[in-house]
Every structure is written in C-alpha cells, then in structure tokens.
Amino acid sequence: MTIKEIQNEIVEEFSMFDDWDERFQYVIDLGKSLPLIDEKYKTEENLIRGCQSKVWLHAEKKDDKILFTADSDGYISKGVISILIRVFSNQSTVDILEGNTDFINEIQLQQFLSPNRANGLSMMVKQIKLYALALQAKN
C-alpha cells in the first residue's frame, strides 16, 4: 500500500468515533498492538528528543524499503508512534521523504494532544524523515 492509501485508511478508522474519549482509547489500543523494538535498540542513540515520554525509534533498510520499530514508556506516545510507523514503515526512502502528514490534521490528532505531546509528534515525524534521509545517503 502507498503512504496515501494507509493515511486514508487511518482517517476512515478515526471517522468511526463520535468523540475524543473513543479516539483517545483507540490511540492507546493502537499502541498496545505495536510490535516492540528489540531491546538492543533501546539506546540513547535511538531516543527521540523532545518527547514527553521516552520514545525509541529504530530504522533499518531491507531491499529498497525502510522498516521502523519503536517503543515508548507512555501509552499515548506509543499509540502515536504506532500510527506513524503504520504509515511510513515498509516504504521507500523517496516515498517517506516526499510523504506528507496532512492526515494528522484530518484525524485532529494534534488538537487532542497537549502542547508537549504535539511537540513530541513533530519530533517523531522529523526523526522518521531523518532516518530516511540518512539511509538514502548511504546508497
């Protein structure tokens, strides 16, 4: 699936909920289903700076795609990173770098987050893009 197709799926899923309590619970549930990062990648180097909770993000290139794994010590942060990984993992570096995050506004995720968590969301997106740029440069 393309990044846009995945984003459209997420927008459709969030549109099923009538209020933010339901959306909030859905974000937490998404985080619970996140495949965990290997413990050896829970290092300072893989910590995303600027997040309220600790969020670890690891990227590796397989064939022409980047695979992301992550974990967090906070339920909300874990749910947010799981959404981003769903969108950007298993995509090419070019697609990741060109991909937008307009869907975040469509599902009103930033409105739901505290300013610190919204900053963390921005830092997560930035780190995903930086990994893609770094892995692209290695080729």
Q: Which pLDDT score, from 0 to 100, does residue 114 have?
A: 78
Here the CATH number for the domain that contains residue 92 is 3.90.1010.10
Task: Return the higher-pLDDT residue of 74 and 115.
Answer: 74
> Is residue 127 within 8 Å of 80, Cβ to Cβ?
no
Please say if the pLDDT value at position 110 is more than 70. Answer: yes
pLDDT in tens, 63-95: 899 999 999 998 999 999 999 999 999 999 999
3-state DSSP assignment of residue 22 = helix
How many independent structural domains does the chain possess? 1
Instruction: Spell 28-44 as b/e; 16+ CB within 10 A means b.
Output: eebbeebeebeeebbee
Q: Which residues are catalytic?
A: 51
Please say if the pLDDT value at position 127 is more than 70. Answer: yes
Quote the CA–CA distance of 23 and 119 in Å, as a whole number. Answer: 19
State which residues form the domain around 33. 3-137
